[in-house]
Amino acid sequence: MLKRTISVEVGKGSTNHNSRKFNAKNTDPERTHLNTDFCNEPIKAVYHELFDDALERYNAKQKRSDRVISDYYEHIATGHQEKPFHEIIIQIGNKDDTGAETEIGKQAEEALAEYYAGFQKRNPQLRVFSAHIHMDEATPHLHIDFVPYMTGSKRGLDTRVSLKQALAMQGFKGGTREETEWSQWVQSEKEALAEVMERYGFEWLHKGTHEKHLSVYDYEKKMRAEEVAELTEKADGLKKEIDDSEHTVSTLSKRIAGLEEGETELDDIDKKLTSSPEYNLPDPPALMTAKSYKAKFVEPIINALKKLVKTILVRYFQLRSDYSRVIDNNGRLWREGDNLKYQNYRLKEENADLRRLNSELRKQNKDHALLRRVFGNEQIDKLIEQANDIRSKEQKTRSKNTMKLGL
């Protein structure tokens, strides 16, 4: 079995370069015909496929024109919450041990092709729209571009772009600084590729955590920053809701105060209608009976006044109910706002930890590169392999000792 490393890097997302609509300096145009194009769909068409129905439902609920989204792709592309799509680059080995023009390179190409064949099935929430194997560069590698999306969202569109939530829907929950949704998913994909590689004569060569590509850590740091930005925007939205609620409370308070004053005035009017001589009806004329006079003039006036008073009282109690509801809602919004502030603070702390970790990794990577320049790649790889073997033996010994103690 040939021992080879697996690398998963975050790509720049240049679909024109991936499909070779133009050739970069590091490509060999004479070998471009050896590349494999699995798919290359227009991303806007994919957005229409995934989000048009959800966008229609979202816009139908909006009462303000400034909240209507006319083009979801442009909304995401010009926003700061999510990237419109993501790209990963998967590679077996390196240019020194798995060159694209060698037989081993062709084996790696076949393994990558089989790995890609199962990618969409493994990742139903990552809609692939562009995928290519490049054989016109130094080492065979696979580019996969995808749109991550979630369903059942309670905020914004019910189906929307979200890498974090898409991975969570696939079972990658994260939870710690090192074990994020992204790092768990990358590890899972490496294991899937390693299983395929065995069928082509390769064994996954682990080189330790210090070999983990820095771009992955950069990406995780960026994901945390995006989470902070998303929470900040949500907090701003809640603050606006709170301000709107406070304005509504103020308006209702004034209206209720006015109604309370009106109630007092109605009491005064009632007293006047009851006791004041000017509101007492005269006796019926000689030519009209009292019963007829009352039925024709008095009762209609009294009924109209009763109806008016009843309408005012019903509206008054409705406003009191609305006032209580708004007060309760305002309290809930304040609690949610406090919770978001805490989450925002926690994510900023985690982001700072990631920056420190990234700095340490860059230093380790620089030291590692220096060692390779001084002692050579072959010598360093042998030392790493020996260290991994020793670690593996120690783990087996500890496991045996644990079993003996258990017995």
Please write the tens of the pLDDT for every residue from 17-41. 555 454 566 788 889 889 999 999 9
Q: pLDDT band at 213, cuts 50/70/90?
A: very low
Predicted confidence band at 295 (pLDDT cuts at 50, 70, 90)? Answer: confident
> What pLDDT, on a 0 to 100 scale, did the predictor assign at position 127?
98
pLDDT at residue 188 tops 80: yes
H-state helical runs in 295-376: 299-375
Rounded to whole angstroms, how far apart are CA atoms 4 and 98?
8
Query: What's the pLDDT score for residue 211?
Result: 42
Q: Is 208 left (phi over 0), alpha (psi -120 to 50) or beta?
A: left
What pLDDT is attached to residue 24?
62
Distance (Å, whole) CA 183 – CA 176: 10
Least confident of 138-147, 166-175, 200-209, 219-228: 219-228
Question: What is the mean pLDDT of the segment spanning 119-145?
Answer: 95
How far, in whole angstroms, is CA 181 from its chain's centroid?
12
**Tokens of residue 52, six digits:** 């048009």
Query: Cα angle at 130 between 127 and 133, to 5 degrees?
Result: 125
Which pair of structure tokens corresponds to residue 171? Answer: 């079972």
CA–CA separation, 215 and 89 (whole Å): 11
How far from the centroid of its chain's Cα atoms is residue 392's Cα?
38
**What whole-number distance in Å separates Cα of residue 225 and Cα of residue 81?**
9
CB 88 within 8 A of CB 8: yes
Tell me what pLDDT residue 209 has.
43
Q: What percent of the chain has pLDDT over 70?
A: 71
| Mean pLDDT confidence for 371-384 | 75
Contact between 153 and 165 (Cβ < 8 Å) = yes
Give the three-class secondary structure for 37.
Answer: strand
**Rg of the chain on CA atoms, in Å:** 36
pLDDT, mean of residues 186-203: 95
pLDDT tens-digit profile of 229-247?
Answer: 666 666 666 666 666 666 6
Task: Give the confidence band of 212 by pLDDT, cuts at 50, 70, 90.
Answer: very low
| DSSP designation for 282 | P
* pLDDT confidence band for 309 (50 / 70 / 90): confident
What distance lies between CA 338 and its chain's CA centroid? 21
In this prediction, residues 161-172 reach a mean pLDDT of: 94
240 and 349 in contact (C-beta within 8 Å)? no
Architecture of the structural domain at 2-205: 2-Layer Sandwich (3.30)
